[in-house]
Amino acid sequence: MTRTTFDLERLTPPVKKLLSITALAAATALVLSGCASASTDAGATDDPSNSSGVRVVASTDVYGDIAKQIGGDRVSVTSIIDDPDKDPHEYEADARTQLSLSKAQLVIENGAGYDDFVEKMLSAADNKVAPVLNAADISGYNQKPAEGDFNEHVWYDFPTVQKLTDELVKQLSAIDPEGAKSYEANAKTFEGQLTALEQQEKDIKTSFDGAGAAITEPVPLYMLTAAGLVNKTPAAFSEAIEEGTDVPADVLKQTTDQFSSGAVKVLVYNEQTSGAQTELVLTAAKDAKVPVVPVTETLPAGSDYISWMTTNLNALQGALSGK
């Protein structure tokens, strides 16, 4: 898949092409009239109020899957972005998603400008009752601006996912008290799996602490840092890729030179974003025989959160070990 505009990092106002006023107004009008049009949103139903279980709406299938892991068959989950081919930059409300948000009992968003469309759609749906779990706020990292630019890809940070799990148990139990024990049991199982992932990060760190790594975007940085790796990519390169602008020639050369110089042991790149300059970086890494590990921002087909992150860590550990 090749796209040059799948830049999720800079969704702060003005939001680029997320929701045109015309599309939003049209979708809202359809919702109010009860005329829901066709949609490809996973888990959506013609009338969410008829869904069994607590109605949860998540901005992406990552958070949708986490909610399903905790809620089990006591929740009905709709994920707005449920396909790697869906571009939030061009996302426009459809009537079914708008209806899902209007009927939602719990909403999960990433926050920090990553998925602003949720707040806009929720406001248009006039749902002032559903609690909103904001993963960036839950992480606590975005409250420390002195430590540098905030990396909003917090679903790659297992301690944040642990905190989100606790909040899900709390909110789901408040909405559905009869299911509290079930939510707690599911959370215990899920948190045990997260702990295993954190242990694998520690194992990688034991063997490769301080090793250099290159990235195209900061998507996997929480994982790389926890694994003891040091990002060697020039900040100006990642910033340009995030902004969708051309990388200055000297910065591009600095980025590609790090492979031939032996400064990095692995390149971890976002395979959902591709362009001429990222392709040059990939070529430079392969020419220097530096292993390449692809990552994504949304769930690969057939994966759940735990299997997805396990695959990422296995690939990283294998690449660093030369396997």
Domains and CATH numbers, the chain: 21-194 (3.40.50.1980), 199-320 (3.40.50.1980)
**pLDDT recorded at residue 94:** 79
Q: Which of 5-14, 43-52, 94-103, 127-136 has the highest mean pLDDT?
A: 127-136
Q: What is the pLDDT of residue 67?
A: 98
Residue 5 in this model has a pLDDT that exceeds 50: no
Quick one: which H or E segment has residue 212? strand 212-215
Give the pLDDT score at 88: 58
User: Of 7-21, 75-89, 172-186, 201-215, which range is least confident?
Assistant: 7-21
What distances in angstroms separate CA 218 from CA 141, 234, 292, 299, one per listed residue? 15, 12, 15, 17
Residue 110 and residue 7: Cα distance in Å, rounded?
A: 15
pLDDT for 15: 35
Contacts of 249 (CB under 8 A, 6+ apart): none
- Region 157-174: mean pLDDT is 98
**Residue 158 and residue 201 in contact, taking contact as beta carbons nearer than 8 Å:** yes
> CA-CA distance, 219 to 296, in Å (whole number)?
8
The average confidence (pLDDT) of the chain is 84
Which pTM does this prediction carry? 0.83
CA atoms within 13 A on the CB side of 227: 27
